[in-house]
Amino acid sequence: MFNVLRLTFYVIPTESYGGDFVIKAKKKPERKCLGCGEMKDKSRLIRIVRSTDGKVFIDRTGKANGRGAYICDSLDCFVKCRKAKRFDKAFGLSVPDDVYASLEGLINKENG
């Protein structure tokens, strides 16, 4: 398996180079899935957050404040995470069962 660097190119006019155009690459953010350990696009993963007051919840926007952990929308990754208590280790506290239940429901809904 190869890691592929995903780049988006855009053109910027610059005066410092005599009015020429410079092509710069913009990287897309990637995060690691706690289940399979693969690096994937941040937009393709589900984010679970521990807020500063200790609440754990699913962040559908990807912008909530707090410590985030990511998982694929695969049921296999979910089972691995739950069995090995990877969310508990990532957050340093035990994740409530209702968070696991809602996460499993979300994954089942996305997979059809």
pTM of the model: 0.76
Cβ atoms within 10 Å, residue 82: 18
What's the half-sphere exposure (Cβ side, CA atoms, 13 Å) at 1?
5
- What rounded mean pLDDT belongs to the chain? 87
Q: Mean pLDDT throughout 12-25?
A: 62
User: One-letter amino acid identity for 55?
Assistant: K
Q: Could you tell me the two tokens for 87?
A: 């969310």
Residue % of the chain over a pLDDT of 70: 79
Burial class of residue 66 (count of CB atoms within 10 Å of its CB; 0-12, 13-18, 19+): middle
1 — pLDDT class (breaks 50, 70, 90): very low
What's the half-sphere exposure (Cβ side, CA atoms, 13 Å) at 24?
8
Domains present along the chain, CATH in parentheses: 29-110 (3.30.1230.10)
The partner residues of 58 in beta bridges, in order of sequence, read 48
What SS3 state is found at 3?
Answer: coil
Task: Please tell me the distance from the alpha carbon of residue 87 to that of residue 59, in angstroms, as a whole number.
Answer: 14
| Residues 62-72 pLDDT 10s | 999 999 999 99
| Residues 32-73 pLDDT 10s | 999 999 999 999 999 999 999 999 999 999 999 999 999 999
